[in-house]
Structure 1
Amino acid sequence: MKIPILFEDNHLLLVEKPINVPVQADRSGDLDLLTILKNDIKERYQKTGNVYLGLVHRLDRPVGGAMVFAKTSKAASRLSDMFRRQAVKRKYFAVVHGIPRKKKGKLAHYLLKDNRKNKVSVVSPNHPKAKKAVLDYEVIESRKGFSLLSVKLHTGRPHQIRVQLSKMGNPIFGDQKYGEHLSKPRQQLALWAYSIYFEHPVRKEPLGIESAPPNDYPWEFMRDYIK
């Protein structure tokens, strides 16, 4: 599998994650992105022995788009700290069912993950294991009963965007977990990580990349509004 490289230097590797590929090895046993990239680096640079590649954030398996990996431990440590401090700006496109009541807004919920079911639910702020999740959204266009949203993450909780938009009443197209009453079997989740901006962890220069979603349904009829 050939992974599109969006940016690379001695410290960083930024790529476009394909949909339905796990970021790292899981119980499915399917080939994962981290292994693919390590093998690619080993082949391209004719490296012997193990290849270091630091995983500093994740995307859900059905989600595609921009991801950053660290090629050195120094970059990995600094990037991890930047993610903790919310100094990495990430934006997503999502095609959701219906039209949100507000053109733009901020969503804040407390989430709890059931690891056995691999599903997240919204719970009371008083729950001892709840974690706060915050995002901003803006409706870019609404057509044919769907809306294209730009979503900016402030926290990085598992399934966060999917859960919060569903709780708002606008589940993402193709979401089999949080929009099963609207999604049909085998529909592809319409959530895409389209941009990531941060300060280079070593050079201290601004760095940003963008990645366009595929030209498939339902993205195709929103193509004119995706910039």
Structure 2
Amino acid sequence: MQEEDILPEENTEEVYERKTFTIDKGEEPKRVDKWLQARLENATRNKIQQAIDIGLLTVNGKPVKSNYKIKPGDNLVLLSLVNPEYSEIVPEKMPLDIVYEDDAVLVINKPHNMVVHPGVGNYSGTLLNGVAWHLKEHNPGITEDTLPRFGMVHRIDKNTTGLILLAKTPEAAVHLAKQFFNHTVDRKYLAVVWGDVQEDEGTINVNIARHQRFRKMFTTYPDGETGKTAITHYRVLERLNYVSVVECMLETGRTHQIRVHMKSIGHTLFNDWEYGGDKILKGTIYAKYKQFVENCFAICPRCALHAKTLGFEHPVTGQRMFFESALPEDMQQLIEKWRKYVRVKPLEEE
């Protein structure tokens, strides 16, 4: 038996991983649920059967039942939830900016300073605490057992604003997770980055993995041997002397992908304190300029990144759906302040 192609890496933007198994020659026929239970750590037969029932397992590209008997050469693909450290999701009543909702999907516009799911140091007040309350209002019997992780299929950073997609049924979660794996979900972000991005558009295709020294950070690995494939397409929307407004389209969904990729080409996101963007990286040495930048940091006291566009295939109707989120006020004010600055201040040497 070979296990291969485990995607995505732990703690990536997507919350499902794909495990692929190939049955070796000489393997005895055996029920697929029992076979998987013997090879997956902490997996109960009941959980495996539930996963199979909602379509998380395919054999040779087709869904099967729990009593399917494996045979040599079979290719098994199993989607399973990545298991980050997080606690039980306790429903909490809170306002949610719901952009769209039907019986299968939920699209929410997330504010900044909100964690998506509970974890160490953030046991309450997360988006999923609010989603759990909202779903239980309409379906009191719903639990994490009936809808794993209350339908979360991807996530965005605490201080990133914008659109996030959730499923309202297990079947919808499977359908949406497969779209993320197949790179058919359209995700466009708007960012303010340090520096004048020279190329009007480009693609960054460099592996990403955890930083070897600073384990809460991620970095690029150009050798292609470390980390996971990460692809970001970018387009410059506006140049404002010492910063640029760029649109980034994700092809993959690694943790901090846009932040890490833009830093790798010399354009760290504005006020991204984890990656050094909360310091003056471009501009003049004059005190007035320093004060201007400090004022900009105060206006947008977070990493200047917004999940603007979300497009996906509806898991029930098959209809292609698109949603857009207006730029939040802090980023609007930040960009306008830079526009006013460049109108009165010519570009000076650093």
Give the equivalent residue in structure 2 for 1:11.
Answer: 104
The unaligned stretches of length 5 or more in structure 1 are none
Larger radius of gyration: 2
Deviates more, 1:22-31 or 1:115-124: 115-124
Contact 1:190/1:219 (<8 A) preserved: no
Deviations 1:67-105 (A, max 9, x none): 100000000001000100001010000011111110111
In 1, Cα distance between the equivalents of 2:236 and 2:270? 15
* Residues in 2 aligned to 1:38 and 1:50: alpha-carbon distance in whole angstroms: 8
**1:206 aligned partner:** 320
Contact 1:96-1:149 within 8 A present in 2 as well: yes
Mapped to 1, the partners of 2:302 and 2:335 lie a distance apart of 11
Q: Give the length in aligned residue pairs.
A: 221
- Deviation of 1:180 (Å): 4.2
Residue range with higher mean Cα deviation, 78-87 or 136-145: 136-145
Q: Is the 8 A contact 1:124 1:130 kept in 2?
A: no
Q: Paired residue for 1:109? A: 206
Q: With a CA cutoff of 8 Å and minimum separation of 6, indicate the structure with the bigger relative contact order.
A: 1
Q: 2:240 aligns with which of 143, 146, 157?
A: 143
Q: Where does residue 133 of structure 1 map in the other structure? A: 230
Name the TM-score, length of structure 2 as normaliser: 0.59
Contact 1:162 1:171 (8 Å CA) reproduced: yes
Aligned to 1:33: 127
Deviation at 1:170, TM superposition (A): 0.8
Match of 1:119 in 2: 217
Between Structure 1 and Structure 2, the one with more strand by share is 1
Structure 2: distance between partners of 1:92 and 1:19 = 14
Alignment partner for residue 73 of structure 1, among 163, 170, 181? 170
Query: 1:135, 1:153 within 8 Å by CA — same for their partners in 2?
Result: yes
Identity of aligned residues (%): 32
Structure 2: gaps spanning 5 or more residues: 1-93, 281-293, 340-350
2:223 is matched by which residue type in structure 1? Answer: P
Q: Hey, which of these two has a bigger chunk of helix by percent?
A: 2
Which of 130, 136, 155 does residue 58 from structure 1 map onto? Answer: 155
Q: Report SS of the residue matched to 1:218.
A: helix
Q: Which amino acid aligns with 1:203?
A: T
Deviates most, 133-142 or 179-188: 179-188
Q: 1:188 aligns with which of 292, 302, 318?
A: 302
**Amino acid of the structure 2 residue aligned with 1:125:** D
Aligned residues: CA RMSD: 2.2
CA contact (8 A) 2:193 2:269 kept: yes
TM-score (structure 1 length as normaliser): 0.89
Contact persistence 1:97–1:145 (CA under 8 A): yes
Amino acid at match of 1:195: T
